[in-house]
């Protein structure tokens, strides 16, 4: 269970406060994969970051007994001068992994990301696709109750995309995901329920199809 | 996932950051590494030459090269802790993506890296001193060590205070850069305070760093002592910086993470 209690979040702009959430009290049920929908700038990523506890509400509280991954985006927190391997090692240490576990994770990420010799090269020599593959492989190596995914499914070429989707499907057998995406097919495929973020409010839908319908309605209104 | 307690989480974060910082230093090109270890040698060489040119070879009753080595090691430790920490929040911004990484951990890790490098430099100096028969005898090793610990605490407190200040004012790091040169001349590094005229002494004794330097070399050399050191004054500055720095840090931690 993830509970939001009187949560208000806004960003200060020159023309006043821009509300993402306005006094929202809400509980998100556990053990379910949830897609988060909303227009650009509606606050999907902010909501995600708040759940990952690296962004904080202006008022109110978010409580949960679940563990969350870092928000998986493209290549966050990598050091350009360090090798891919050294970067993976760093994240393992952050999570207090023991030397044998670190060894295993490094093997897994090297294998999954298909970086081969580049794995021992500084990250600054990587293409953006390679960085994406590394960070996706890395995120699969850890166990959380929830993975926070911010549109990272589209890394690499067609073959790698297919491979990562399969890996993710396997991964969500043992954990849940909160997925921000604009790709309705991906959402329908991976998520059962949906949350639509709009105008400072959150609306929960038991079926992802209903959430998508609502999202389409909102989009039509704007046009 | 196994739940870990707060101390264990922070411990693993600091260890991870420490190795990451070391790795960054050592992978950023050979010249950087070279200067890390040889900068103090050049500083000492230059000042020994100046001193010989001005006052001739034997004008003090302690080994001047050893005196410089000790003082520059201590001063560089102070300088590097402050200068490296002040940009730690900005440099590690991307890491706040991982919720267990708190901004203050990045400062602690950088301080630890500086201490580690200083220990290596001290070992190199001792080895050279022994090999070339310099008089490196220490009068009171435990008080010298204690002096270094006080210096580290002082530097960390100042570094934390300045890093927080640096969030509001961009120019803080520049100003600190300038003041380091002034501090180098005003902190009894290539002289002792009793060599100076009384008027200059009174002014310089307002500088807390000079007390720390006087303490460290006062307990190192047989012929020197800590007459001028005001320990309460050192502690007053240290704890003021620490208190104000921590107070603001606690208020601003979330803001540092999310902006």
The tens digit of pLDDT for each residue in A74-95 reads: 556 687 888 999 999 999 999 9
pLDDT, mean of residues B171-190 = 90
pLDDT, mean of residues A59-84 = 82
Domain boundaries, chain A: 29-56+64-69+180-222, 77-143
Indicate which of A61, A93, A131 best probes the interface with B, i.e. most B CBs within 10 Å of its own CB: A93
Q: Please indicate if any CB of chain A lies within 8 Å of the CB of B97.
A: yes
Does residue A152 register a pLDDT over 70?
Answer: no
pLDDT, mean of residues A61-81 = 80
Q: Is A197 helix (H, G, I), strand (E, B) or coil?
A: strand
Min distance B18 CA to chain A CA atoms (Å) = 10
- Cβ-count burial of B147 within 10 angstroms (0-12 exposed, 13-18 middle, 19+ buried)? buried
The tens digit of pLDDT for each residue in B250-259 reads: 999 999 998 7
Is A122's CB within 8 Å of B4's CB? Answer: no
The tens digit of pLDDT for each residue in B103-130 reads: 999 999 999 999 999 999 999 999 999 9
Q: Are strands A176-180 and A146-150 parallel, antiparallel or unpaired?
A: parallel
Does residue A190 register a pLDDT over 90?
Answer: no
* Measured distance CA(A7)–CA(A26) in Å, rounded: 9
pLDDT at A2: 86
pLDDT at B93: 87
* A96 backbone φψ class: left, alpha, beta (φ>0; ψ -120 to 50): left
Cβ–Cβ < 8 Å for A82, A121: no
Does residue B70 register a pLDDT over 60?
Answer: yes
* B138 backbone φψ class: left, alpha, beta (φ>0; ψ -120 to 50): beta
Is B4's CB within 8 Å of A96's CB? Answer: yes
- Model confidence band, residue B240 (pLDDT cutoffs 50, 70, 90): very high
Per the model's pLDDT, the better-predicted residue between A90 and A72 turns out to be A90
Residues of B in Cβ contact (< 8 Å) with A144:
1
Cβ–Cβ < 8 Å for A94, B100: yes
Indicate which of B97, B109, B255, B259 best probes the interface with A, i.e. most A CBs within 10 Å of its own CB: B97
Residues of A in Cβ contact (< 8 Å) with B259:
none
Q: Which ipTM did the prediction report?
A: 0.85
User: Would residue B70 count as lying in a domain?
Assistant: yes
Report the chain B residue with the minimal C-alpha distance to residue A11: B259
* Chain CA centroid to CA B10, Å: 23
* Measured distance CA(A110)–CA(A122) in Å, rounded: 14
- Model confidence band, residue B237 (pLDDT cutoffs 50, 70, 90): very high
User: Would residue B209 count as lying in a domain?
Assistant: yes
The tens digit of pLDDT for each residue in A7-57 reads: 999 988 888 888 888 888 988 888 899 999 988 888 888 888 888 888 899
Q: Is the dihedral of CA A96, A101, A103, A109 positive or negative?
A: negative
Cβ-Cβ contacts under 8 Å between A and B: the total is: 71
Does residue A118 register a pLDDT over 90?
Answer: yes
Report the chain B residue with the minimal C-alpha distance to residue A94: B13
**pLDDT above 70: percentage of residues in chain A:** 96
Binding-face residues of A in 63-82 toward B, CB within 8 A: 67-68, 70-71, 76-79, 81-82
Cβ–Cβ < 8 Å for A122, A80: yes
**Which residues pair with residue A21 across a beta bridge?**
A9
pLDDT at A173: 87
Domain interval for residue B73: 6-258
Residues of A in Cβ contact (< 8 Å) with B1:
67, 142-145
Q: Please indicate if any CB of chain B lies within 8 Å of the CB of A218.
A: no
- Sequence-ordered alpha helix ranges (H) in chain B: 6-27, 30-55, 64-86, 88-91, 103-131, 141-168, 172-185, 198-204, 208-220, 231-258
**Which residues pair with residue A203 across a beta bridge?**
A196
Kindly state the helix (H) or strand (E) to which residue A23 belongs, with its residue range. strand A16-28
Min distance B170 CA to chain A CA atoms (Å) = 21
Most distant pair of Cα atoms in chain A: their distance: 56
Does residue A151 register a pLDDT over 80?
Answer: no
Is A54's CB within 8 Å of B28's CB? Answer: no
* Mean pLDDT estimate for chain A: 87
* Measured distance CA(A68)–CA(A62) in Å, rounded: 13
Query: Nearest by CB to B99, which of A52, A90, A93?
Result: A52
pLDDT at A172: 86
pLDDT, mean of residues B164-186 = 90
Indicate which of A66, A81, A150 best probes the interface with B, i.e. most B CBs within 10 Å of its own CB: A81
pLDDT, mean of residues B150-178 = 92
Compute φ and ψ for B59, nearest 5 degrees: -115, -5
pLDDT at B102: 95
Q: Please indicate if any CB of chain A lies within 8 Å of the CB of B258.
A: yes
In total, chain B counts a number of residues equal to: 259
User: Would residue B239 count as lying in a domain?
Assistant: yes
- Reported pTM: 0.89
pLDDT, mean of residues A216-221 = 86
pLDDT at B53: 83
Q: In what order do the strands lie in the sheet with A59-64?
A: A16-28, A2-13, A59-64
- Model confidence band, residue B198 (pLDDT cutoffs 50, 70, 90): very high
pLDDT at A49: 86
User: Would residue B1 count as lying in a domain?
Assistant: no
**Which residues pair with residue A186 across a beta bridge?**
none
- State how many domains chain B has: 1
Is A54's CB within 8 Å of B13's CB? Answer: no
Query: Nearest by CB to A79, which of B20, B98, B99?
Result: B20
Does residue A3 register a pLDDT over 60?
Answer: yes
End-to-end CA distance of chain B: 28
Q: Please indicate if any CB of chain A lies within 8 Å of the CB of B1.
A: yes
Min distance B259 CA to chain A CA atoms (Å) = 9
């Amino acid at each position: 269970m993830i509970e939001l209690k009187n949560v208000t979040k806004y960003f200060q702009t020159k023309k006043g406060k821009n509300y993402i959430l306005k006094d929202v009290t809400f509980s998100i049920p556990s053990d379910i994969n949830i897609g988060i929908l909303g227009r650009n700038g509606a606050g999907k990523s902010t909501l995600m970051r708040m759940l990952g506890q690296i962004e904080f509400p202006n008022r109110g509280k978010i409580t949960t007994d679940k563990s969350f991954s870092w928000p998986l985006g493209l290549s966050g927190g990598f050091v350009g001068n360090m090798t891919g391997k050294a970067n993976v090692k760093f994240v393992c240490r952050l999570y207090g992994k023991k030397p044998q576990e670190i060894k295993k994770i490094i093997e897994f990420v090297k294998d999954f990301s298909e970086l081969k010799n580049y794995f021992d090269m500084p990250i600054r020599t990587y293409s953006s696709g390679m960085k994406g593959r590394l960070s996706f492989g890395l995120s699969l190596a850890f166990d959380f109750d929830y993975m926070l995914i911010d549109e990272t499914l589209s890394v690499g070429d067609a073959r790698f995309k297919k491979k990562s989707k399969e890996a993710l499907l396997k991964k969500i057998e043992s954990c849940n995901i909160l997925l921000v995406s604009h790709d309705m097919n991906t959402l329908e495929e991976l998520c059962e329920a949906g949350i639509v973020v709009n105008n400072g409010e959150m609306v929960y839908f038991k079926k992802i199809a209903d959430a998508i319908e609502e999202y389409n309605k909102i989009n039509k209104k704007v046009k | 996932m196994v739940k870990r307690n707060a101390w264990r989480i922070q411990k693993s974060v600091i260890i991870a950051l420490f190795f990451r910082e070391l790795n960054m230093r050592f992978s950023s090109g050979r010249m950087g590494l070279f200067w890390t270890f040889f900068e103090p040698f050049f500083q000492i060489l230059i000042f020994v030459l100046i001193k010989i040119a001005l006052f001739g070879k034997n004008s003090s009753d302690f080994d001047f090269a050893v005196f410089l080595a000790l003082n520059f090691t201590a001063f560089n430790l102070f300088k590097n802790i402050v200068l490296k920490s002040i940009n730690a929040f900005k440099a590690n911004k991307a890491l706040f993506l991982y919720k267990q990484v708190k901004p203050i951990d990045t400062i602690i890790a950088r301080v630890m890296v500086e201490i580690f490098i200083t220990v290596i430099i001290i070992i190199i100096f001792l080895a050279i001193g022994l090999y070339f028969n310099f008089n490196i005898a220490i009068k009171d090793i435990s008080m010298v060590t204690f002096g270094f610990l006080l210096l580290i605490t002082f530097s960390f407190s100042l570094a934390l205070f300045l890093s927080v200040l640096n969030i509001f004012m961009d120019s803080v790091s520049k100003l600190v850069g300038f003041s380091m040169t002034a501090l180098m001349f005003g902190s009894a590094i290539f002289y002792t305070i009793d060599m100076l005229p009384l008027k200059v002494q009174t002014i310089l004794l307002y500088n807390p760093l000079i007390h720390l330097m006087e303490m460290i070399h006062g307990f190192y050399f047989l012929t020197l002592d800590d007459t001028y050191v005001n320990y309460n004054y050192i502690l007053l500055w240290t704890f003021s910086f620490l208190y104000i720095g921590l107070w603001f840090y606690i208020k601003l931690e979330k803001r540092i993470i999310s902006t």
